[in-house]
Amino acid sequence: MIFDILETGFAGITWGAVMMIIIGAVLLYLGIAKKMEPLLLVPIGFGVIISNMPLAGLMDTIVNGELYNYYIPGGEPIGFFARLFSAGLESELIPIFIFLGLGAMTDFGPIIANPKTLLLGAGAQFGVYFAFFLALVLGFNIYEAACIGIIGGADGPTTIFLTNRLAPTFIGATAVAAYTYMALVPIIQPPIIKLCTTKKERQIYMKPQLREVARKEKIIFPVIAAIIIILLVPESAPLIGMFMLGNLLRESGVTDRLADTASNAMMNMLTIALGLCVGAFMSAENFLRLDSLLVFCIGIIAFGAATAGGVFLAKLMNLFVKEKINPMIGAAGVSAVPMAARVVQKLGQEENPKNFLLMQAMGPNIAGVIGTATAAGIFLGMLQ
Amino acid sequence: MTGVDWGQALQVGIFGFLLVVLVLATLAVCMWLVGWIFNRPFNIKNLFKRDKKPSDNSENEPEEEPEYNPQYKIDDIERYE
C-alpha cells in the first residue's frame, strides 16, 4: 500500500549498485576497523554507498537533454554530489587547496639540512614512468597511461589533479587506487625493500640528528623552490605554487592564523569534500569496468617500482658519497608522507636497533611530494 | 584503448623522467648553496675561536668571574633596601 504512494528505491536496485555498496562497505571496514587512511577511506566509502542508492539522484547529470543517474564529465550537474564534484574536483579547487594545507603541515627542515636526499625523491619517480609504459603496452592511450603512472607517486591530490585534466572518466579508479595503496604502504613496501637490499645494507648506521636549519633558510626554501620548479615546469604551478605558499605561511612566523587554518580547518573540510566526491563518482557505470581493474593492477606495480627505484638510486649514490646512506631511505621517496618514512624507521630499527632513520627518511619523503607534483606538471606540459 | 604513438610516448617518458631528476637536482644544488651561505659566518667564527692562541700578557686579560655561591643568594630583597 505504502509503495503506491511513496516511490522507494527497492525497485531500482541493480546488481551493479549492490556490488558498489559492497565495495563501499569494504572501504569503510578498512578505514574504521583496520585504521587504514581513515580520514579518506571513511568519506570515500560512505560516498560510494549513498551515491549508489537507487533514485537518490545525488550524482544526476544531464547530457544532451537526457538525465543520467551517474556523473558524466562535461555534463550539466543536477544532483548535490554532482554539483560538488563539478565545483570542487572538475574545477580542480579541492586538490589544489589540499596542496596549500599540505605545505602548511610540512617541515622542509630535513631536505634543507641534507639536500642530496632530494635526489632520492627523483629515484622514486621511476615507478611513475615504468607504469606509464606498462599501461601503454596494455593498450591504454597516452593520456590514460599518464594518469595510471602517476599512481606510482602515491599522491592522491596530484593523481586527481592530473586525471581530471587528462582522462576524467578514470578519476574514480585512479583516486581510489592511489589512496588505497597509500594506506597499504606498511604492507606493500617492506617485502620490496627487503628484496632489493642485503641485510648488511639495511644495517648501515646513519646519524639520527641532522644539522640545525636556520629560520631564514626555511623561509627562503619555499620561495626558491617555487621559482625554480615553476620556471622549469610551468604546468606544475598550481600544485607547487600552493604547496610552497602553504609552507611559507607556516615558516614566515607572521601568518600563524593562516597557517593554522590551512593545516587544520580548511584541510579537514577539503578532505571531507574530496572523499565524498571521489566516493560519489564510483557508480557501477563508472567503476565496474575491466579497465578499472587494470588500473588497480598497474597501480600496485607502479607503487612497487617506485619503492625499488628509490632504493636502487640510494645504492647508486653510495658509490659516490663518503658517508654511506642506508638504501632503505630511498623507499621513502614515494609521496606517502609520513607513512613511508615511518616504514623505513621501523625496518631500520628491526635491522639495527641503534638506527633512527625517521628524520633521514623524511627528506626523500618530502622530495617525493615535490617530485610527483613536478612529474604531473611535466605530463600536462607535454600532453595537453 | 587506442593505438599508441611510441615516438611521442618515449619522448614523454624518457624526457619527462630526466626533467624530474633535473628539477630536483637543481633544487638540491640551490639549497646546498643557500645552506652554505647561511652557515659560513658561523664556521669562520668557530675557525677563529679554534685558532686563537693563549696570550702571554696575562695582565690585560679580564679576571674570571667568581663562581656562583648559593650562600650569597638574596632570598628577601627587601632586607637590603
Q: Please list the residues that pair with A67 across neighbouring strands.
A: A62
Residue A291 pLDDT grade (very low, low, confident, very high; cuts 50, 70, 90): confident
In this predicted structure, what is the pLDDT of residue A8? 81
What's residue A235's pLDDT? 93
Kindly give the parts of chain B with pLDDT less than 50. Answer: 58, 68-69, 71-81
State how far residue A126 is from chain B, nearest Cα, in angstroms.
Answer: 7
A171 contact partners, CB below 8 Å, separation of at least 6: A73, A89, A160, A163, A164, A278, A281
Bridge partners of A63, per DSSP, are: A66
Query: Quick one: pLDDT at residue A323?
Result: 85
With an 8 Å Cβ cutoff, are B30 and A125 in contact?
no
Using the predicted structure, report yes or no on whether residue A17 has a pLDDT greater than 70: yes
**CA distance readout (Å), A244 to A171, A212, A221, A372, B42:** 25, 21, 8, 14, 28
Q: What are phi and psi of A111, to 5 degrees?
A: -80, -25
> In A282-357, where does DSSP find H-type helix?
284-287, 290-317, 339-351
Kindly state the average pLDDT of the residues A277-285: 87
Separation of alpha carbons A197 and A176, rounded Å = 30
A375 burial via Cβ count (<10 Å: 0-12, 13-18, 19+): buried
The reply to whether residue A125 touches residue B15, judged by beta carbons under 8 angstroms, is no
pLDDT computed for residue A375 by the predictor: 95
**pLDDT band (50, 70, 90) for residue A70:** confident
Q: Would you call A74 an interface residue with chain B, using a CB distance cutoff of 8 Å?
A: no
Count of A-B CB contacts under 8 Å: 110
What distance in Å separates the CA atoms of residue A354 and residue A206, rounded to the nearest whole number? 9
Which of A142, A216, A229 is nearest residue B9 as measured by Cβ atoms?
A142
Q: What pLDDT digit, counting tens, does each position of A194-246 carry?
A: 999 999 999 999 987 778 888 999 999 999 999 999 999 999 999 999 999 99
For A108-160, what is each residue's pLDDT tens digit?
998 899 898 888 888 889 999 999 999 999 999 999 999 999 998 888 899 98
User: Could you list the residue range(s) of the whole structural domain that residue A202 is in?
Assistant: 3-383
Please give the mean pLDDT across all residues of chain A: 90
C-alpha cell at A237: 604551478
Asked if A378 and B29 come within 8 Å (Cβ–Cβ), the reply is no
Interface contact flag, A113 B2, Cβ < 8 Å: no
Q: Determine how many CB atoms are found less than 10 A away from the CB of residue B37.
A: 12
For chain A, how many structural domains are there in total?
1
Mean pLDDT (whole number) for A102-107: 93
The answer to whether A344 and A362 are in contact (CB under 8 A) is no
CB contact under 8 A, B9 and A383: no
Whether residue A166 has pLDDT greater than 90? yes
In the predicted structure, residue A16 carries a pLDDT above the cut 70 = yes
| Amino acid A105: pLDDT | 94
Residues of A in contact with B6 (CB under 8 A): 136
Sign of CA dihedral A287, A290, A291, A297: positive
Nearest CB to A125 within list B2, B12, B17: B17
pLDDT digits (tens, 9 = 90+) for A296-314: 899 999 999 999 999 999 9
User: What is the ipTM, given to two decimal places?
Assistant: 0.85
- CB pair distance less than 8 Å for A228 and B20: no
The strand order across the sheet containing A61-63 reads A66-68, A61-63, A76-77
Among candidates B1, B6, B38 on the partner chain, residue whose Cβ is nearest the Cβ of A140: B1
Chain B residues closer than 8 Å to A113 by CB? 35
Residue A206: φ, ψ to 5°: -125, 140
Of A136, A146, A379, nearest to B4 by CB-CB distance is A136
Of A287 and A348, more confident: A348
Q: What is the structure's pLDDT at A4?
A: 60
Residue A13 pLDDT more than 60?
A: yes
Share of chain A above pLDDT 90, in %: 60
